[in-house]
Structure 1
């Protein structure tokens, strides 16, 4: 599961949106977010170059376990509820040709039984 926090401010006819996504899994997650604003969106840019993770209103990134990532964008349209939606969130696989058992096991989420399961009955 990923958690998404959003914030929007409207100033002089421009809506700026800030989004922070947190990965609560024990494995890297590839997350895709869709902008829900009605109308044109100005994607994030650096030195006039659009962020390559942004494509046609969808932002995609991979987040390591326990980490957070943020993105911001703007629009002349007023804020909507919700501001963004999670299109998908899935375990990131750097190579689809995982074949050995040790590679498969390394790619699994961590798991540990609860203390109730491990208690001995007298």
Structure 2
């Protein structure tokens, strides 16, 4: 099950939308979330360069099993003009197994490794 929580906060003429997506499944999931703001949308990094997980007005990212990810955006729109809810999960799919392993996964897999005794020289 994929869960989505959000909140909005209006400060200095800008509405901030923050969200947390939770993957309660036992497999990693790619989650696509569309914004429902009918107006300008400011993603992290502003106009210089859009954040890599933002494209076409939506956020898409990997959420590991039993983990949460946070993200957000801003808009000059008044909270009353923003749809309720301001975000919607539009797609989820299991992440492929060919993704690059995390360094911690690699180290964990090496925990029991030891060189063969015949490869070591005995020091006297």
Q: TM-score, normalised by structure 1?
A: 0.71
Structure 2 spans left out of the alignment, 5+ residues: 99-124
**What does 1:95-106 correspond to in 2, within 5 Å?**
95=98
Q: Counterpart of 1:36?
A: 36
Task: Assess if the C-alpha contact under 8 Å between 1:37 and 1:78 holds in 2.
Answer: no
Per-residue deviation at 1:88?
0.5
Q: Counterpart of 2:12?
A: 12
CA distance in 2: counterparts of 1:16 and 1:81, whole angstroms: 14
CA distance in 1: counterparts of 2:55 and 2:97, whole angstroms: 20
Say which SS state the counterpart of residue 85 (structure 1) adopts: strand
Say which SS state the counterpart of residue 62 (structure 2) adopts: strand
Instruction: Tell which deviates more after alignment, 17-26 or 5-14.
Output: 5-14
Q: Counterpart of 1:83?
A: 86
Rg larger for: 2
**4+ runs deviating over 6 angstroms:** none
Q: CA RMSD in A?
A: 1.5
Count residues in correspondence: 94
Q: Counterpart of 1:93?
A: 96
Q: Counterpart of 1:2?
A: 2
Query: 1:71-121, CA deviations, whole angstroms, 9 ceiling, x for partnerless residues?
Result: 0110001232011011101211144xxxxxxxxxxxxxxxxxxxxxxxxxx
